[in-house]
Amino acid sequence: MNTATRLTLYGAGLVVTFGATFVVAAAVVPDRVARDWTASAEHAAHTPTDTAAAPVAEAPPVRGVSVAADGYALTAVVAPTRVGESDELAFTITGPDARPVTGFETSHDKQLHAIIVASDGSNYRHVHPTMDAVGRWSLPWQWPAAGSYRVFADFVPAATGTDITLSSTVTVAGEVAPPATRPASSTDEVAGYQVSLTGDLTTAGASTLTARISRDGQPVTTLQPYLGAYGHLVALREGDLAYLHVHPEGAAPTGPEQLSGPDVQFATAAPTPGRYWLYFDFQVDGQVHTAEFVLNAAGPAASTPSAPTASPPPAPAPTDAHGGH
């Protein structure tokens, strides 16, 4: 068999092989999927790479969704197991060496802030347990209702100086009521105070939220310092209860007698679009109150593609002295 004949037979064999392959693929893969593959391949082959694309804004880190982070862990969590049972809520923070941490920086007047909230956003509490000599945090506790709760510990280890939020889930036995519907709302009334929250929560970067407190239609200007500020705002993402880091804006109080109001501003950013629960703590006449809100966070606005630039018309060909081309 000469070389030309062998090449001819080899080429025919390839045709048969690939033809059989596509027959099998058609039998196994639906036509719609095969068309998608083809369209995807054609798109990739004809779409130029845009090396000058606008940078995507980096989403803020998600916090408070795990029991451990950066070598630190929330461990040995104990709590009452049933509604109406009085006991203590206690836990320990361990460090990278797996030993209890006893060195913490003071942040907002406390070495540790504990946030406890039900999985449906109800029964929110912001409390401050005390630490014993061996690093165990505790406080007396009783659950208001059965269900699943998230316990957050917000602290700054002295060894790192970096704020960390860890969380653990606690299940409370008893008759569980259906979760309450929480529609979007930027206003609330608590203990005779009307509180409104203005501003947009967005993933497009840090935004300012302003809480305004009034009573009987009059602005409240007697806000007392509470934990080193005139108010505190906690934001949790509905579903996984991711914990947003919220910063109070403006000058901090210089003393316990310095009053302010009616506005308290905060800077925050949402990691993803969706619904968020917000809890605003403020103090008047020595009493701390909590207003609750539900906001929907929007993603960055979709950019409108610019119209293609029309190419200029071609210049006319030069003519000679006799008007010819």
Taking the chain (325 residues) in consecutive chunks of 10 residues, what is each chunk's mean pLDDT? Answer: 44 41 37 38 38 48 89 97 95 98 95 96 96 98 96 97 96 88 93 96 90 97 94 94 87 87 93 95 96 90 45 48 38
Q: What is the DSSP letter of 206?
A: -
CATH class of 68-172: mainly beta
CB 210 within 8 A of CB 264: yes
Confidence at residue 182, expressed as pLDDT on a 0 to 100 scale = 84
Confidence at residue 59, expressed as pLDDT on a 0 to 100 scale = 56
Confidence at residue 179, expressed as pLDDT on a 0 to 100 scale = 81
Among residues 238, 77, 242, the alpha carbon closest in space to that of 172 is found at 77
Confidence at residue 180, expressed as pLDDT on a 0 to 100 scale = 76
Among residues 245, 227, 217, 215, the alpha carbon closest in space to that of 283 is found at 227
Q: Same fold for the domain at 68-172 and the one at 187-297? A: yes
Task: Spell out a b/e string for 281-313, using b for 16 or more CB atoms within 10 Å of the CB, else e.
Answer: bbbbeeeebbbbbbbebeeeeeeeeeeeeeeee
d(CA 189, CA 195): 6
Residue ranges covered by each domain of the chain: 68-172, 187-297
Stated as kind and residue range, the H or E segment containing 15 is: helix 3-28
Confidence at residue 314, expressed as pLDDT on a 0 to 100 scale = 52
Confidence at residue 63, expressed as pLDDT on a 0 to 100 scale = 86
d(CA 37, CA 43): 10
pLDDT tens digits, one per residue of 81-101: 999 899 999 999 999 999 999
Answer yes or no: CATH 2.60.40.1220 is held by domain 187-297: yes
Confidence at residue 75, expressed as pLDDT on a 0 to 100 scale = 97
Confidence at residue 303, expressed as pLDDT on a 0 to 100 scale = 38
